[in-house]
Amino acid sequence: MATKSSKSKSKVGKSAKSASKQNLKQKAKVTKSQIDKLNKDMDHIQDIHKSLAQSGQAPKKIGALDVARLKSDMEKDEQRKKANKELQRQLEVMTGMAHDEEQHENQEEFVDINDIAEEVADDNGPDPQDDNDDNDMDMDGHENEESIEIDLANNSWTYFDQHKDSIFTIFEHPSLPMVVTGGGDNTAYMWTTHTQPPRFVGELSGHKESVVCGGFTGDGKFVVTGDMNGFIQVHKSTKGGQKWVKFGDLEEVEEVLWITVHSSAPYFAFGATDGSVWVYQIDEESKSLVQIMSGFSHTLDCNAGVFVGTEKTDELFLVTASEDGSIVMWNGFTGAVQYKLQPHDDFKGVESPWVSLKSHGVVVAAGARDGQLAIINLETGKIVQHIKTIENVEDIADLSIEALAWCKNKAVPLLAVGLVSGDVLLFDSNSWRLRRTLKVDDTITKLQFIGDSPVLVGSSMNGKLYKWDARTGDELFVGVGHNMGVLDFAIADNGKALITAGDEGVSLIFRPEA
């Protein structure tokens, strides 16, 4: 299992601010005996390092910051184990679906667009959860010491709990009732969303670090996954989704921050911590992954990227945004820079670290860590609007724009903007006047409209999933059941199913209309 850090969280859209706020939301109570145990562990580590030094080795010195981080990681891991076990027990009681110990072992789902029911053998399936482990024990072995309080309210339809660490990403198949989840346990799992409980389809094995991004091609034939070691894999569907076999892999960069898959052509792009941008073709004829461009215009982390003008098959354009305050339009076929917007020349001297992008028609919206929102004409490269979304915050981290969503309904011209502060701002995309503000009590992690409807879905670090009518601001549904943050979600079954990626390692499926 990979050890997560604050850096890991930041790479999937979580700031240090939201992480610390979430710790408060956990209502965790670390006992004195637990702290004493941790201090003894620190002393033991110091003794080991002294021994290594005496034998001629040069271990790294343990500083106060290292000790604090180790304590924090150990405490959070213990909290996650307890929370996950309590959540699983509560879900089983509420749904009447006690998991059979062999449910996910040696099992693969037959995936068919009309009837996903038949199971086939899969020797690579995950091991079942052990209900007899020692997670009921406190860190020093005392069963009765209270260490965490959990809100057991839950209105989910079913759940998937095979990940052993945080689930960072989730994305749905374009036509089959199936999703992929990637987590901090270095795994990517495929599973069904229309069955209760979900059925395991397979593992996209091979990753050695946290799986943080990915997507399906528009035709559903290929799936792309990427991890924090910069390792990217492509798997191909066979027999209508019964089997997913390795097609190819690549490792060009030290760490991948995002992957975007073209909606209609066999291309995918990714950005890295070194600022580089890459585009690859999934070439069935040569049965290989073919690099068609790489770009190095950004000087810091390339935080976001999106294909634009995807309806034109003879063109391939990509917009990327960086921590260095620049936004670049690339020709995906040649690697040429069509235009580059920079802080001092184009943004009136404001050097905004861009962290989110979302395109719509001939414009793209860019959100920054300092709360700046830019609307850019894709054809001309001109800035249509430059807006400071919120001001007068106690913590500057609250300003960060973590989520953007355009309403595709022509009668409801809106852009939804979600911030670390918990604000959801609804702008009129004709006049760019603020129409409405929705308020949540913790960081907004994602926003998405359902199809071309005015119904907006949003997730938060408070562990809840929301549905709003963007026209009125009315709250239509609140999905509860997580005891840690919701890092991502997917919309399936024409909006009838909402599937989450939970920080505690559990995915919940909500069916608000069921």
* pLDDT tens column, 312-358: 888 999 999 999 999 999 999 999 999 999 998 899 888 999 999 99
What is the total count of domains within the chain?
1
Residue 491 belongs to some domain of the structure: yes
Residue 410 belongs to some domain of the structure: yes
Residue 136 belongs to some domain of the structure: yes
Q: Is the model's pLDDT at 59 over the cut of 60?
A: no
Identify the pLDDT of residue 242. Answer: 80
* pLDDT tens column, 391-420: 989 999 999 999 999 999 999 999 999 999
* Cα separations in angstroms, 394 against 17, 397, 398, 421: 12, 9, 8, 10
| Beta-sheet strand order (sheet of 363-368) | 354-360, 363-368, 372-377, 383-388
Residue 281 belongs to some domain of the structure: no
* Cα separations in angstroms, 134 against 78, 131, 289, 345, 483: 11, 9, 45, 59, 20
Identify the pLDDT of residue 106. Answer: 41
Residue 222 belongs to some domain of the structure: yes
Instruction: Indicate which CATH number applies to the domain containing 486.
Output: 2.130.10.10
Looking at the chain, the number of H-run helices and the number of E-run strands are: 5, 34
Average pLDDT, the chain: 83
Q: Spell out the residues 6+ positions from residue 134 whose beta carbon is closer than 8 angstroms to its own.
A: none
Residue 239 belongs to some domain of the structure: yes
Residue 486 belongs to some domain of the structure: yes
Q: Is the model's pLDDT at 466 over the cut of 90?
A: yes
Q: For 451-464, what is the mean pLDDT?
A: 98
Q: For 71-99, what is the mean pLDDT?
A: 62
Residue 351 belongs to some domain of the structure: no
* pLDDT tens column, 248-300: 999 999 999 999 999 999 999 999 999 999 999 999 999 999 999 999 999 99
Nearest partner of 22 among 465, 420, 472, judged by Cα:
420
* pLDDT tens column, 160-219: 999 999 999 999 999 999 999 999 999 999 999 999 999 999 999 999 999 999 999 999
* pLDDT tens column, 350-391: 899 999 999 999 999 999 999 999 999 999 999 999 999 999
- 45-49, 258-262, 498-502: least confidently modelled range: 45-49
pTM of the model: 0.76
H-helix or E-strand containing 451? none
Rounded-to-integer distance, Cα 324 and Cα 133, Å:
47
- SS3 category, 372: strand
Identify the pLDDT of residue 23. Answer: 40
Domain of residue 490 covers 108-251+389-510
